[in-house]
Amino acid sequence: MIQIARHVVLLAAKDLRIEARGRQTVGLVIVLGILIIVVLGMGLGAGQPMSGFGASSILWVAYLFGGVLCFEKTMSVERHDDALSGLLLAPIDRSAIYASKLLTNLILMFSLALVVTPVAIILFRFDLSAHPLGFAFVMGAGMVGFAAVGTLFAAAVSSTRLQGGLLALLVFPLCLPVVVTSTQLMRMLFAEGGSLASGGVATLIAFDLMYLVASWLVFEQVLEP
Amino acid sequence: MTLALSSIEVPVASCVCATAAVSVRGLGKTIDDRDILDDLTFEVPEGSFVALLGANGAGKSSLLKILATLIPPSRGELQLFGAAVRSDATALRSRIGLIGHAPMLYRDLSALENLILFGRLYGVADPRQRAEQLLDYVELSHRASDSIKTFSRGMVQRAAIARALMHDPDLLLADEPFSGLDAPSANALERLLKRLHDEGRTIILANHDLSQSLAIAQRAIVLRRGRLVMDAPVGDLTQAEILAEVSAT
């Protein structure tokens, strides 16, 4: 297990080093996220105060599209010059490749959230003061489930020519339970004055675990050199 | 046991001549209802240099990918160094090196960073030192810190060879390693393969150039439409005989 963890860190560090050199993914994803927020702001009428429930719905749109771009870009690094085959030839547990990609995607998505969320707070005057930590926890947990499914399907479609469109088509419906659960939790927190000590959090974590375990188990089967 | 070569001390697996490096029995691969490989049976003793020959689409690359454990066979048995690949693939991968069509390197990392990364994945004791030695071995020391995307085709191929040798594999599989190389680079690679064989490694080389293959290999295996049609020592065959088998319909 320690050996797998070492490989996960090694491969994620490699991905982040490549990203740091080009800054292609994080730059694109942040610009896309801000564009989505601005377009939604123009459509929905920015400037009027919005509750945490509304905030989570708008932010999810930015996170979903930004996330798909992250998944695609981090996997395309492995397809250039067939670097993936180099990894598949190594005597490592192939689930380490999945875990490293998931870790990289989560780091990139959290970077996106760190930039896009404050922009949305300013633009929409989101009022998160009632439960700022609850908001962060629910959105973070939602992202884990989304990234778990997205990382798996990015590997599956990376060898096809359809890529972007196909990935979004596959991942969006599958991560719907996570998105719906997190927005319902937000409604409970901000609109109904409830707390996180409810069944909703357990449901969200259960979805995360289910997606993580299923993706971990299936990942090796979807990898094609 | 070690052999001094250039500036490197290259450990060489002690020869257990009774063991076959590769043992294939009734092996086949079917993709989309098409038999890419069918009923292949052969053995490659440790320390041999085998030329894998055949026309385009004969199944050479698929066979090498199966031997490298990159793709599983659809049927049949494959043993490497006496162990069944089906049950022991992860452990066996540390004994296999593959030079493929693509370099299998990260273009945004330097040659040294690539080799250190793969060295760590293979559990090489001192990956930096080994990487520096190998870059010297393939005459790329002067470009060690440059990213792969700045390399010429020949330099990329040499870096790929260094990657394949990083963990000192006992079995080296080379799939068209000469393609795209200029004459000096091809000659250097040919010398390198001979040297690696002299050090005791088992080499299986898929190559289009018949005369080049026959000049460096000890044995020729010819595939035609996924089936083995010839398996004989190079000395027993003429180029015309092999060419007739390769190009027969």
For residue B158, is it within any domain? Answer: yes
Of B94, B106, B148, the CB nearest to A91: B94
SS3 of residue A46 by DSSP: coil
Chain A partners within 8 Å of B65 (Cβ) = 225
CATH number, position B51? 3.40.50.300
Chain A partners within 8 Å of B70 (Cβ) = 85, 88-89, 225
For residue B143, is it within any domain? Answer: yes
Is pLDDT of A36 > 50? Answer: yes
Tell me how many degrees the CA angle A166-A172-A94 measures, rounded to the nearest 5: 70
Could you list the residue range(s) of the whole structural domain that residue B239 is in?
47-70+94-247
For residue B188, is it within any domain? Answer: yes
* Cα separations in angstroms, A48 against A113, A115, A119, A124, A181: 21, 21, 14, 6, 25
Confidence class of residue A45 from pLDDT cuts 50, 70 and 90? low
pLDDT value at position B179?
77
Confidence class of residue A125 from pLDDT cuts 50, 70 and 90? confident
Cβ–Cβ gap B103/A82 under 8 Å: yes
Question: Helices A52-79 and A176-186, interaxial angle, to 10°?
Answer: 150
pLDDT value at position B16?
42
Q: Please, are residues B101 and B179 in contact by the beta-carbon 8 Å criterion?
A: yes
A 10 A CB-CB count for B65 gives: 22
Top pLDDT among A22 and A32 is at A32
pLDDT value at position A162?
59
Tell me how many degrees the CA angle A156-A211-A51 measures, rounded to the nearest 5: 115
Top pLDDT among B18 and A140 is at A140
Chain B partners within 8 Å of A18 (Cβ) = 106, 108-109
Q: Please, are residues B203 and B174 in contact by the beta-carbon 8 Å criterion?
A: yes
Number of domains in chain B: 1
Cβ–Cβ gap A82/B102 under 8 Å: yes
Residue among B176, B159, B206 nearest B53 (CA): B206
Q: Which residues of B touch A (CB under 8 A)?
A: 65, 68-71, 90-94, 96, 98, 100-109, 113, 117-118, 120-123, 147-148, 156, 163
Cβ–Cβ gap B91/A91 under 8 Å: yes
Confidence class of residue B243 from pLDDT cuts 50, 70 and 90? confident
Residue of A nearest to B160 (CA): A86
Chain A partners within 8 Å of B105 (Cβ) = 81, 83, 86
CB pairs under 8 A between A and B: 71
Stretch among A151-165, B25-39, B95-109 having the lowest mean pLDDT: A151-165
Q: What is the mean pLDDT of residues B221-227?
A: 88
Query: How many angstroms away from the CA of B70 is the closest CA of chain A?
Result: 6
Top pLDDT among A225 and A186 is at A186
3-state DSSP helix/strand/coil percent for chain B, to nearest 5? Answer: 40, 30, 30
Is pLDDT of A47 > 50? Answer: yes
pLDDT value at position A17?
92
Q: What percent of chain B has pLDDT over 70?
A: 92
Confidence class of residue B131 from pLDDT cuts 50, 70 and 90? very high
Is pLDDT of A121 > 70? Answer: yes
pLDDT value at position A195?
72
Confidence class of residue A225 from pLDDT cuts 50, 70 and 90? low
Query: How many angstroms away from the CA of A104 is the closest CA of chain B?
Result: 16
Top pLDDT among A112 and A160 is at A112
Q: Which residues of A touch B (CB under 8 A)?
A: 7, 10, 14, 17-18, 21-22, 77, 80-83, 85-93, 225
pTM greater than the 0.80 cutoff:
yes
For residue B108, is it within any domain? Answer: yes
Cβ–Cβ gap A90/B118 under 8 Å: yes
Residue of A nearest to B108 (CA): A18
Cβ–Cβ gap A18/B109 under 8 Å: yes
Q: What percent of chain A has pLDDT over 90?
A: 36
Is pLDDT of A91 > 90? Answer: yes
Tell me how many degrees the CA angle A104-A106-A109 measures, rounded to the nearest 5: 110
Cβ–Cβ gap A7/B121 under 8 Å: yes
- The answer for residues whose C-beta is within 8 angstroms of residue B207's C-beta and 6 or more apart is B51, B52, B53, B174, B176, B177, B178, B213
Chain B partners within 8 Å of A7 (Cβ) = 121
Cβ–Cβ gap B70/A83 under 8 Å: no
Is pLDDT of B2 > 80? Answer: no
Q: Tokens 């990213």 identify what position? A: B147
For residue B88, is it within any domain? Answer: no
pLDDT value at position B249?
61
Cβ–Cβ gap B101/A82 under 8 Å: yes
pLDDT value at position A15?
92
For residue B105, is it within any domain? Answer: yes
Average pLDDT, chain B: 85
pLDDT value at position B6?
42
Q: Identify from A89, A93, A224 which residue to disrupt to test chain B contact, counting B C-beta atoms within 10 A and taking the largest count.
A: A89
Average pLDDT, chain A: 86
For residue B234, is it within any domain? Answer: yes
For residue B3, is it within any domain? Answer: no
pLDDT value at position B117?
95
Chain B partners within 8 Å of A82 (Cβ) = 100-104
